[in-house]
Amino acid sequence: MPRKIVVAVDQSEESKKLLEWAAKIVLKPDDHVVAIYCIPEKAMFGFGTFLLDEYWGRIQKEEVDQGEKVLRNMRVEAEKIGIPITTETRPGAPHQVLEEYCTMIKADLLIVGRDTMQSVRGLGGSVSAHCIANCSCPVLVARAGTY
């Protein structure tokens, strides 16, 4: 039975390297691999921030477009190294999205880079630390620069 492996990605070059590293070290040919990209919601921009709906709509569209571009590139890179992957974009705080998604699909493993989603790290602490403490599956955290 294939394992369900979730790989958290963002727009960084490290995400691409993380997938390549995982392919060499962790992934098996029959694994079902999902690359997931989290899209911030309006509430994530902080207290006291007032964004007009029209302006917020443009920001949201840019985030979605960026996520789709990242995932398109991930699919191309995965194909080059022989990893069949599916991709998902999900709205919300990365720590919550990853925890809920892993539970929903009954993931066998979550792979995150320590710098993955760095831009939102300060909003709720470390994404990787939250996932280690709360995810329903094992979490592999790879430190940037070591893969």
pLDDT digits over 78-101, tens only? 999 888 999 999 999 899 999 999
Quick check: is 60 in a domain? yes
Q: Does a structural domain hold residue 124?
A: yes
- The domain in which residue 88 lies consists of 4-142
Count of structural domains within the chain: 1
DSSP 96: H
Q: Among candidates 19, 38, 25, 20, which has minimal Cα distance to 101?
A: 38
The answer to whether residue 90 sits within a structural domain is yes
**CA angle, residues 16, 35, 38, in degrees to nearest 5:** 100
Six-digit token string for 86? 């599916």
Non-local (6+) Cβ contacts of 73 within 8 A are 16
CATH number for the domain spanning 125: value is: 3.40.50.620
Looking at the domain assignment, is residue 147 inside a domain?
no
Q: What is the pLDDT of residues 2-47, one digit of tens each?
A: 999 999 998 888 888 898 899 999 999 899 999 999 987 754 455 5
